[in-house]
Structure 1
Amino acid sequence: MSKAFDASVQQALLESRAEQALRLAKHLGADACEVGASVDQGIGISVREGEVESVELSRDQGIAVTVYLRGHKGSASSTDAGDASIREVVEKAVAIALYTGEDPAAGLADPELMATELPDLDVHHPWPLSTEQAIDLALACEAAGRGEPGIRQSEGASLSSGEGVRVYANSHGFMGSQRGSRHSLSCMLIAEDEHGMQRDYDYTSARDPKELLSAEVVGRRAAERTLSRLGAQRPATGRLPVLFDATVASGLVGHLMSAIAGGSLYRQASFLCDRLGEPLFLDWFTLGEHPMERGAMASSAFDNDGVQTRNNVFIEQGRLASYMLSAYSARRLGMQTTGNAGGARNLRISAPLETRQALLARMGRGVLVTELMGQGVNGVTGDYSRGAAGFWVENGEIQYPVEEFTIAGNLEAMFKGLQAVGSDIDTRGSIHTGSWLIDEMTVAGS
């Protein structure tokens, strides 16, 4: 890897720069100021067909300053965090504030809400990986996949490893810092038979490199997924049950969270405006966040406003229990922040879980969706239409792969039509969920 990254040194440097920016903003007449600063370093390796395609050593830094001046807000940022650049950024933010309209909702979160519990959340696990070692792992991953009978060629394997430090500070006197790391390894392959070519991939991702799957396992799983798609057909058109594989079911959770996000609500751009307390799911379904979960992918003790994060329940026994609000969106809505500036952190579902085979048996006849394409989701109406690929299911058993079809419905109806959640929980991201069985959607195929 490139120049050694000392997280403690970088943290102290960023904190010093944040304090410098706060002092300067006050000197220039700002009523309040907040500063975000970060530095990241990483390595990225791409290989294809047994050859190295690219080696990228990255080191990025940045600082962003927002000032508040008599109800006016100005923001500026720079990728250079030197002394001269900090002065320039603060001066620009102040100058911008002089020309923006007054916004009564603008300003820092209330001082009593600032985070006071800042534990080590076990999210920083550097990987002392040389460039040669990273290349060897990527090549081993690809070789394992290419070695499976039926694989025609490779679209490549990639390894990414990085760590960084972020700091948030404001003129309430709050200073929060967090070190973090993220590592991943992926492989994409192509298989071919008399019906044509198919491609698919697999990956592993974790904060701690010791929790990654082995390169060989990732490669073989990529090959297995790719080979399983050979001979794909177009399914029949009709109203059918749809089983969303765990790898795509997390997207349904993401659409739900977008609909209850403060920005969508105060703009009246959500189908869930003014729906607090109403049932959206059956009463066995609960969804919440756990931002202080140790070692998880989105853990943080403070949000992007410096507010103490907390466990929030968004769906409780099927009912919409809480919106997802920052300090600004809460003011716009006449509510209180939920500590979600920057989004939800570590979403977890509480529900009875069923095995994949049990879900297929319950479905009987329908489609198992393993891939989604396109952006056909309307957050205002909840209308949902996506291109898809997956497998046809008959009598509770997978029969053959299917592709080139569309699934359509409405998110509210899909949520109410959720029949069961699988025990095949995908833990690679910040949303942990198993497969979702929806009672009925429009499947448009042949």
Structure 2
Amino acid sequence: MTDIVDTAKLADRVSALVEAARKAGADAADAVAMLGRSTSVSVRLGKVEGTEASESEDVALRVFVGRRVASVSATASADPAALAERAVAMARVSPEDPFQGLADPSRLARSIRDLDLFDGTAVPAETLKETALAAEAAALAVGGVTNSGGSGASAGLGGLVLATSHGFVGRYVATRFSRSVSAIAGEGTGMERDYDFSSRLYYSDLDSPETIGRNAGERAVKRLNARKAATGPVSVIFDPRVARGIAGHLAGAINGASVARKTSFLRDMMGKPVAAKGVTVTDDPLKPRGQSSRPFDGEGVEGMALSMVEDGVLKHWFLSTSAARELGLETNGRGVRASSSVSPSSTNLAIEPGEKSPEELIASLKSGFYVTEVFGQGVNMVTGEYSRGASGFWIENGELAYPVSEVTIASNLKDMFLNMIPASDLDRNFGTAAPTLLIEGMTLAGS
């Protein structure tokens, strides 16, 4: 695994880009370098299907001439002077944008926190292969599993180095290790597929390949002999794997850029109830070892932990500098750098847990639908309309009775959030985390 000190050279390069931009006539500028390293191995039925290794170091320069802005991207070895001259020339003929600009100097991180994001463990390709094979073998050993959908393991890192003409220079690197496996149960048209995975910043924190394989196999077997359910109103319990998607929809709806563009169904709801009373949604960029932690955002601003929704009431938007200015607000350090552009996004987002266990939520229903998978693109973030294909298990008299597939569940996200009851089983090992969720008042389309 590449050592963190490699970013020192990139810090010099982005600083040189900013200096070249000022010499070329820019009033202000920032430059970012993004580095990546990864190795992955995929296997199927005991044989290696692919081994991949990649390395990248890219830079992006953003320049401001008055209220005009332009950005250019290149490899890290590009000539700073030539890149800066091209960017400034582009800015001078670009339309004015009153909301663009560097973050206020007073908001920049004064020191770079160590969030424990880097694990120097070296994992050779041979070890990744053995791990993937072990996970697949554990899945195939489950009774009822008839085939493998493949297994994989990977190790890598990603880093960001930022320099601004205000004098800010910051850098950090985060590692990422993962394991996954897909299992197939049954035969012919009755086959079912399911999966499991583990992804962590530290190699020692990963779930074992045997656990991942066994979970995938058991999940696939449980889905055999699925039925359709009757069309009608239904109370739906979302498994955490699916509930994380619901949390993601909420994050998208309170994104400041979407609010400014008037493309969010929650754009007029600041300070109003958007979720059931008692529901709290937090976001914390400074969580140690967090999957989406960062000591500063894509503009050099250190964010802080926020309750985005508190007791059901919307308290904050996710804001970068430009989105904040367009809304007449101040950035809260949620700007994400994607090459030469910056846009707001969540960090370590979590729907906070409730008091009841998942078993208690299931037991509370005489009938209902426990959803383990959704598919399709039926989510409209402008209106909130929600319609997804789904599969899972039917609930009868407070227990999971039989598997269900080939049905559709529908509602509006506004109503879903207002009728959402979180369970107590929150797993924070995800950048977007959610516990099991009960949502009443949805509609099921089946037989």
5 Å-filtered alignment, 1:343-358, equals 343-358=345-360
1:83 is displaced (CA, Å) by 4.3
> Which of 292, 299, 305 matches 2:299?
305
CA pair 20-30 structure 1, distance change in 2 beyond 3 A: same
Provide the residue aligned with 1:254 in structure 2: 248
Provide the residue aligned with 2:121 in structure 1: 127
Distance 1:331 1:372 in 2: 37
Are 1:334 and 2:328 counterparts? yes
Distance 2:93 2:182 in 1: 50
1:422 is displaced (CA, Å) by 1.7
Distance 1:197 1:126 in 2: 41
Percent identity (aligned) = 40
> Which of 40, 57, 80 matches 1:44?
40
Contact 1:298–1:430 (Cα < 8 Å) also in 2? yes
AA paired with 1:5? Answer: T
Provide the residue aligned with 1:58 in structure 2: 54
Are 1:11 and 2:11 counterparts? no
AA paired with 1:17? Answer: R
5 Å-filtered alignment, 1:11-160, equals 11-78=7-74, 80-84=75-79, 86-160=80-154
Secondary structure, counterpart of 1:137 in structure 2: helix
Distance 1:160 1:277 in 2: 43
Provide the residue aligned with 2:342 in structure 1: none
AA paired with 2:160? Answer: R
Provide the residue aligned with 1:189 in structure 2: 183
Provide the residue aligned with 2:340 in structure 1: none
1:358 is displaced (CA, Å) by 0.3
Secondary structure, counterpart of 2:294 in structure 1: coil
Scaled by the length of structure 2, the TM-score of the pair is 0.96
RMSD after superposition: 1.4
Unaligned 5+ residue runs, structure 2? 337-344
1:87 is displaced (CA, Å) by 3.7
Secondary structure, counterpart of 2:191 in structure 1: strand
Secondary structure, counterpart of 1:127 in structure 2: coil
AA paired with 2:18? Answer: L
Distance 2:114 2:174 in 1: 11
Provide the residue aligned with 2:261 in structure 1: 267
Provide the residue aligned with 1:444 in structure 2: 445
1:246 is displaced (CA, Å) by 0.6
| TM-superposition CA deviations, 1:60-116 (whole Å, max 9, x none) | 1111111001110101112x21143x4443233222212210011111011111011
> How many aligned positions are there?
439
Distance 2:78 2:431 in 1: 36
1:306 is displaced (CA, Å) by 1.0
Distance 1:194 1:72 in 2: 61
1:165 is displaced (CA, Å) by 2.3
Distance 1:182 1:364 in 2: 43
Contact 2:353–2:435 (Cα < 8 Å) also in 1? no
5 Å-filtered alignment, 1:155-304, equals 155-193=149-187, 196-304=190-298
Contact 2:63–2:71 (Cα < 8 Å) also in 1? yes
Distance 2:221 2:83 in 1: 53
| TM-superposition CA deviations, 1:247-302 (whole Å, max 9, x none) | 11111111111111111111111111121110112221111112111111111121
Provide the residue aligned with 1:395 in structure 2: 397
Distance 2:260 2:188 in 1: 54
Contact 2:352–2:434 (Cα < 8 Å) also in 1? no
AA paired with 2:149? Answer: E
Distance 1:138 1:89 in 2: 43
Scaled by the length of structure 1, the TM-score of the pair is 0.96
1:197 is displaced (CA, Å) by 0.4
Distance 2:22 2:29 in 1: 8
| TM-superposition CA deviations, 1:377-397 (whole Å, max 9, x none) | 111111111111111111110
Contact 1:127–1:161 (Cα < 8 Å) also in 2? no
| TM-superposition CA deviations, 1:17-62 (whole Å, max 9, x none) | 1111011000100011111102111111000010000000111111
Structure 1 stretches of at least 4 aligned residues deviating more than 4 Å after TM superposition: none
AA paired with 1:199? Answer: R
CA pair 156-87 structure 1, distance change in 2 beyond 3 A: farther
